[in-house]
């Protein structure tokens, strides 16, 4: 008997940022190391995420997994947050779980509940940029807007996320709207960012298309880049 198709998918999202390096580059990197068919499996994966990437506890000046601490410190982006860590050099790591409907009826045979098929994700990041010399920028929201099995479908969806015929929201509804050319994978606002828009009140919307990326060796690779 075939296993029932799960109603939802649970995506483990790892984002890294280092605001002091560049206030205009709030999110340095967003990765999704895996999508799971149960929340329990996703939580287990989220809590081992940074260690799976090759980091050790000593690398972090701060490492927290308790929800009550997130709330007490009034951390931004608390929704779905599983791990918050700060490296010795100030780089911030956030591991969160985002839940979306299983519209593609994806299943898995993996014991750890991970969807083994390679997936492409449409990610929406909403950033509020501060003003003034001492101001900092803040990610207000980072969420999965769609899960696809090929880049073409993901890209097509990405180009519609900020638009709505029903609500009469078009490109001219924004103060600025930039879209990557058909043969390009970014529009000049960061790696894999295919749409960038600025709202009438200054909020910035970044729509990215990224692929599942396992984290083995990530720490070593990033350390080599910093040394270089």
Q: Where are the beta strands (DSSP E) in the chain?
A: 8-17, 29-36, 60-64, 81-87, 92-101, 120-128, 138-148, 176-179, 193-198, 204-211
Q: Look at the alpha carbons of 207, 209, 211, 215 in this order and tell me if their dihedral is positive or negative.
A: negative
pLDDT in tens, 10-22: 999 999 887 554 5
Residue 224 in domain: no
Tell me if 70 sits within 8 A of 63, measured CB to CB.
Answer: no
Query: pTM value?
Result: 0.86
Q: What are the distances in angstroms from CA 206 to CA 155, 156, 166, 195?
A: 13, 15, 22, 6
Nearest to 222 by CA among 16, 84, 2, 63: 16
Last residue of a domain, one of 66, 87, 116: 116
Domain that holds residue 179: 120-211
Question: Could you tell me if 182 and 206 lie in one domain?
Answer: yes
Residue 226 in domain: no
Question: Could you tell me if 103 and 184 lie in one domain?
Answer: no
Tell me if 118 sits within 8 A of 34, measured CB to CB.
Answer: no
pLDDT in tens, 172-227: 999 999 999 999 999 998 889 999 999 988 899 999 999 998 776 555 455 444 43
Strand, helix or coil for residue 95: strand
- Bigger pLDDT: 198 or 23? 198
Question: Could you tell me if 144 and 194 lie in one domain?
Answer: yes
Residue 16 in domain: yes
Q: Is the pLDDT of residue 73 over 90?
A: no
Tell me if 65 sits within 8 A of 82, measured CB to CB.
Answer: yes
Residue 71 in domain: yes
Q: What are the distances in angstroms from CA 95 to CA 45, 108, 194?
A: 10, 22, 23
- How far apart are alpha carbons 43 and 10 in whole angstroms? 9
DSSP for 108-171, written as a single string: ---TT-B--S--EEEEEEEEE---STT---EEEEEEEEEEESSHHHHHHHHTTTT-BTTTTB-G
Q: Is 29 exposed, middle or buried (0-12, 13-18, 19+ CB in 10 A)?
A: middle
Residue 216 in domain: no
- The size of the chain, in residues, is 228
Q: Quickly count: other Cβ atoms within 10 Å of residue 226's Cβ.
A: 8
Q: Is the pLDDT of residue 111 over 70?
A: yes
Q: Is the pLDDT of residue 152 over 70?
A: yes
Q: Is the pLDDT of residue 127 over 90?
A: no
Question: Could you tell me if 157 and 107 lie in one domain?
Answer: no
Tell me if 75 sits within 8 A of 84, measured CB to CB.
Answer: yes
């Amino acid at each position: 008997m075939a296993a029932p198709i799960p109603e939802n998918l649970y995506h483990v999202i790892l984002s890294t940022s280092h605001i002091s390096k560049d206030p205009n580059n709030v999110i340095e990197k967003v990765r999704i190391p895996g999508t799971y068919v149960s929340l329990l499996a996703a939580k287990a994966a989220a809590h081992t995420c940074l260690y799976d990437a090759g980091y050790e506890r000593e690398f972090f000046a701060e490492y927290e997994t308790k929800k009550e601490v997130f709330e007490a410190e009034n951390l931004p982006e608390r929704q779905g947050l599983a791990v918050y860590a700060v490296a010795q050099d100030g780089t911030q790591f956030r591991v969160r779980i985002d839940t979306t409907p299983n519209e593609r009826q994806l299943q898995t045979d993996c014991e750890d509940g991970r969807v083994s098929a390679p997936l492409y994700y449409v990610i929406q990041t909403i950033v509020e940029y501060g003003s003034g010399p001492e101001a900092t920028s803040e990610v207000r929201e980072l969420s999965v807007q769609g899960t696809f099995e090929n880049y073409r479908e993901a890209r097509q969806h990405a180009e519609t996320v900020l638009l709505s015929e029903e609500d009469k929201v078009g490109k001219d509804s924004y103060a600025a709207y930039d879209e990557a050319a058909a043969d390009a994978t970014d529009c000049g606002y960061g790696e894999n960012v295919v749409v960038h828009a600025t709202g009438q009140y200054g909020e910035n919307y970044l729509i990215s298309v990224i692929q599942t990326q396992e984290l083995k060796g990530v720490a070593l690779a990033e350390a080599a880049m910093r040394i270089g």
